[in-house]
């Protein structure tokens, strides 16, 4: 389900089935890294939207957790921990983070959820069907990470 009123309404009536929160992690850079930051956001947005389509009934796709890349990591981590606490407190059993920011790879252990890191693929020169094929193949790999995690707990 998406973070739109209609889906959230469904979520509220079917909470016991929707036990997985998906949170995209978006770094924002200005200046030199701006273009790369935009490309990464574009890629992760498309990818998480496609993921949501596969798992509509079991995941809630959160609005992205967005941070300045110049921010201190201590602050970023303490913010994300606040998100984690509220998400868990509201009844979600699983949290998945999706990002292409390399920084998170070395901080994976500090997260309470599962980190899915993917190198950002530039979409700007692709046509729609190329995008679809590419995203589809990426998501296929991710899907098993979800189903395995669920399987362990179901």
Partner 1 sequence: MSKDRVSRRQFLSYTLTGVGGFMAAGILMPMVRFAVDPVLKAEAAGEFVATKQKVADLTNEPVRVDFTYKQKDAWYESDVTESAWVYKDDAGKIIALSPVCKHLGCTVNWGSDKAHPDQFFCPCHYGRYTKDGTNVPGTPPLAPLDVYPFKEKDGYLYLGKAKPRKEA
Q: Which residues bind partner 1 (CB under 8 A)?
A: 1, 10, 14, 17-18, 53-58, 128-129, 132, 143, 146-147, 150, 154
Instruction: Give CA–CA dist 11/98, Å, rounded.
Output: 21
Cα dihedral sign, 137-58-26-149: negative
Helix axes 128-153, 34-54, angle to 10 degrees: 60
User: Shortest distance, CB of residue 106 to partner 1, whole angstroms?
Assistant: 31
The residue among 13 and 72 lying less far from partner 1, judged by its C-beta, is 13
H runs (alpha helix) in 66-127:
73-89
User: Shortest distance, CB of residue 151 to partner 1, whole angstroms?
Assistant: 9
The residue among 55 and 62 lying less far from partner 1, judged by its C-beta, is 55
Q: Would you say 58 and 16 are in contact if contact means Cβ atoms under 8 Å apart?
A: no
- Of the CA atoms within 13 Å of residue 79, those in its CB half-sphere come to 12
The residue among 59 and 76 lying less far from partner 1, judged by its C-beta, is 59
User: Shortest distance, CB of residue 143 to partner 1, whole angstroms?
Assistant: 7
User: Shortest distance, CB of residue 146 to partner 1, whole angstroms?
Assistant: 8
User: Shortest distance, CB of residue 56 to partner 1, whole angstroms?
Assistant: 4
Tokens 């190198």, located at residue: 119
The residue among 22 and 25 lying less far from partner 1, judged by its C-beta, is 22
Tokens 């252990």, located at residue: 109
Tokens 């949501």, located at residue: 52
The residue among 36 and 54 lying less far from partner 1, judged by its C-beta, is 54
């Amino acid at each position: 389900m998406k973070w739109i009123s209609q889906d959230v309404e469904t979520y509220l009536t079917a909470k016991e089935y929707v036990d997985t929160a998906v949170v995209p992690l978006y770094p924002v850079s200005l200046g030199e890294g701006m273009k790369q930051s935009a490309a990464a956001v574009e890629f992760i947005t498309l990818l998480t939207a496609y993921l949501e389509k596969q798992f509509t009934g079991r995941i809630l796709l959160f609005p992205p957790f967005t941070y300045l890349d110049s921010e201190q990591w201590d602050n970023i981590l303490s913010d994300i921990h606040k998100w984690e606490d509220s998400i868990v407190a509201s009844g979600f059993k699983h949290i998945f983070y999706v990002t292409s920011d390399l920084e998170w790879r070395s901080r994976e252990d500090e997260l309470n959820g599962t980190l899915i890191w993917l190198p950002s693929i530039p979409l700007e020169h692709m046509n729609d069907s190329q995008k679809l094929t590419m995203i589809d193949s990426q998501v296929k790999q991710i899907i098993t990470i979800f189903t395995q995690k669920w399987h362990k707990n179901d």
